[in-house]
A and B are shown apart, each in its own frame.
Chain A
């Protein structure tokens, strides 16, 4: 019988440092056949191993049209401290894809509003990349992304690339003004304020909001005021996980297992879940 806890060995293809403590890593299956056959849905996550150190959970933050997997992490714990040191050519482990996904098909024909704060850009990046690759299938795309300082912005270069697409608004903001002389073409404000000024409307639109709890808390009323229904506001939860398979018993919010029924939930789902996240 197959061993569901057994990761696949992956080759590190590329490492891109994003901020002082955030890196994005691109990996491929060492087994070419597996690499060719691997499929995932936008919004799913994986478990990434540094052998001898442990496993950690991250969203797959690239589009699913590629022959690689990308994930992004902040150096904060045992596993990420060792992941920080991996270089192209190294081997790490991967299990997945796990969990549900963003309903990209159902979103076709709608305007998309993406709201992200800090390290929460990657779980939204996959949806942005997918939507841009399929640009004609979606309406107007508004991306509101903020971080504490300019140096804390993830995927900084990509933000400007995305803004080049037709009918895409990229609204960048930072909480703290950059030092005099630093080039900065975004705003200095909190994400909810920028969101409020963005003239979005809930008509034929969905919003995907991921970020620190306080950002989500303050952004929700603005979306509601703009006419978004609870069913049209999506988020991705990040409860602590070990197995990703609905067995180890720690990621649940009440009877909802985040690793199985999540990580993607609508605001309507969340309102029915106990506050256990």
Chain B
């Protein structure tokens, strides 16, 4: 016995949430491209499984730009005003399983030792509904990093699109159950995800190679084509590096947290002029190490869900999958030697 929800019922469920004051985030079309956005009207949402979105739902847990506090100078004293805590219910619907999977990966980062309330309050207030994948493309490699087209990691509920336009609903958590309770009908129809994307490289083997080859010239060689922008990091659901900057004037302003990328020259540049990662090769190495060595060492999870957003967005046809494929060649070679 399964539970199904029609598209109309799903829309009504979301519309009711919007009118109850919740923040609903759903895929929308801007021009021909799909973006996750906060919607005011449920008809803005494009409720169908898709492979490509221009942004990750990460943005609604770890915004690209967020005020930490504001300040006003009064004579020689400074008044600090804390940023308001995120305090509305948030429903994120339509994410790919590989996008939602980043959330439990990022949880320990924002909670080890120091507790980052900005991420945590959004997590606590959010319900995440994923759509099981119906298609994959050549950029997808979730299977290489433990994911699947019907993975429920990070999801509170997973919806399987059925041929008649309705969805089979499988609730994963109490939050998911609360959202769909009373909204579904029992049925004997069941949905299924597409076949898992195929990969012909072994991430563990590559990680072992990375661990032992910090000084390899391969890093420079594979990075010649990288032009050092932040697109891969900013579209990545797991990349979480950030900058802290002050905005406004000396007398009145705010401190903000902005997304940052390890691919830029400035990321590690010291005021003295020294830069520990002075070349693009060193910066690509950092990115791959962070994903497949450092984060697993620290938090027992790969910092990659195999979503392929990086390579889809890269202006020079690079990204994690092409990098892994290049590294697999050298890893296999060194294993055979």
Contact = CB atoms under 8 A, between A and B. Distances in A.
**Are any A and B Cβ atoms less than 8 Å apart in their complex?**
yes
Interface of A: 1-7, 9, 30, 49, 51-55, 76-77, 80, 82, 89-91, 93, 238-240, 242-243, 245-250, 252-255, 257, 260, 274-277
Interface string B87-103: 00000000000000000
A248 B93 CA distance: 28
B114 A245 contact: yes
Contacts of A9: 77-78, 80
Interface residues on B, range: 35 or more
B109 interface: yes
Contacts of A239: 268, 276
A277 B246 contact: no
Contact of A260 (B73, B83, B113, B117): B113
By secondary structure, the A interface counts as: loop
A197 B262 CA distance: 44
B250 A3 contact: no
B112 interface: yes
B253 A51 contact: yes
Contact of A242 (B243, B246, B251, B294): B243
Contacts of B117: 1-4
Contacts of B114: 4, 245-247
Interface of B: 68-69, 71, 73, 76-78, 80, 82-83, 85, 109-110, 112-117, 120-121, 214-215, 240-246, 248-253, 255, 257, 260, 262, 267-272, 276-277, 282, 286, 289-290, 293-294, 297-298
Given A51-B250, A54-B244, A255-B297, 16 more contacts: A1-B115, A3-B69, A9-B80, A49-B255, A51-B78, A51-B246, A52-B250, A76-B272, A93-B80, A242-B243, A254-B214, A254-B289, A255-B293, A255-B298, A275-B214, A275-B215
A1 B242 contact: no
A249 B262 contact: yes
Contacts of B240: 247, 249
B244 A5 contact: yes
B112 A246 contact: yes
A258 B272 CA distance: 18
